[in-house]
Amino acid sequence: MELPKRGTECSEQQRHGLVIAIDGPAGAGKSTVARSLAQRLGFQLLDTGALYRVMALHLLRHGIAPEAEHVPQSAVTSLDLRIEADAGSMKLFLGAEEVTHLIRDERTGAAASVFSTKIVVRRALLGLQRSARERWNIVAEGRDMGTVVFPDAAVKFFVTADLAVRSRRRYLELLERGEDVESPEVLAEMRARDHRDESRAVSPLVKAPDAICIDTTNLAQGEVVDEMMSHIEQRLTGAGEC
């Protein structure tokens, strides 16, 4: 499939770079399919959940608890976060320290979910996320890609799955990383995370009206990516399309 070249698209946003937006709840398979899709397209992956994890790690190191009522503006603006492209993925740095894998523990993930409800945190990362399209064509995955960060993305997807299936996937993922977790605890945390994501006042998790919904409950990763590629081809190729 031949996609429009970077810088030739019709919308103001797309003059910078093509954006494919993928939103959805934790454990739905967004990260895995976004990585595969980016590789298939030759795009850069923008894993925005990872950016919030880096912010969470930064704030925790500064002694700020996730449940703190107030997060100082100085704490978020002092974040020294750098993104480097890495073959359909991305490397993340706090200053000179690479934290790509360090941020994947459950503690940092839970803290990121809480910190992400705070407007000062979301505002601090918004510009960084949007600036990625100035450097690359991107597959952006997160919670508010198609609704807030890239509302005029070329193609938007909303990926979901049954809670029990999502929890099981997360549990197995954590076990594979060698973490000592119990299945009921993972389910409880995922249910709590869903509630925080869907009920927060700023940028709640919702499906964009023009997003294509894909339920991954009974689909393999390859099937999801194939379906996405089919929709992208329909949207972005053909006579007169932008």
DSSP category for residue 238: S
Window from 63-67, 151-155, 162-166, 235-239 with minimum mean pLDDT: 235-239
pLDDT > 90 fraction of the chain, expressed in percent and rounded: 72
pTM (2 decimals)? 0.85
Assess if residue 6 is contained within a domain.
no
pLDDT of residue 16: 65
* Average pLDDT taken over every residue of the chain: 89
Q: For 105-130, what is each residue's pLDDT tens digit?
A: 889 988 998 999 899 999 999 999 99
Q: For 170-218, what is each residue's pLDDT tens digit?
A: 999 889 888 888 999 999 999 998 998 898 888 889 999 999 999 999 9
User: Considering its fold, how many domains does the chain have in total?
Assistant: 1
Assess if residue 81 is contained within a domain.
yes
Torsion angle in degrees (nearest 10) through CA of 183, 185, 188, 189: -110
Assess if residue 186 is contained within a domain.
yes
Rounded to an integer, the average pLDDT of 4-14 is 43
Rounded to an integer, the average pLDDT of 12-17 is 56
Sheet holding 81-86, edge to edge: 81-86, 89-94, 97-98
Window from 85-99, 114-128, 155-169 with minimum mean pLDDT: 85-99
pLDDT-derived band at 82, boundaries 50, 70, 90: very high
Assess if residue 239 is contained within a domain.
no
- Domain region containing 62: 18-232
Assess if residue 214 is contained within a domain.
yes
Q: Give the pairing of strands 97-98 and 89-94.
A: antiparallel
pLDDT of residue 4: 46
Assess if residue 5 is contained within a domain.
no
Rounded to an integer, the average pLDDT of 225-232 is 97
Assess if residue 179 is contained within a domain.
yes
Secondary structure (DSSP) of 159-203 = EE--HHHHHHHHHHHHHHTT----HHHHHHHHHHHHHHHHH-SSS
pLDDT at 21 over 70: yes
CATH number at 104 reads 3.40.50.300
Assess if residue 193 is contained within a domain.
yes
Phi, psi dihedrals of residue 226, rounded to the nearest 5° = -60, -45
Judged on CB neighbours under 10 Å (0-12, 13-18, 19+), 202 is middle
pLDDT at 144 over 50: yes
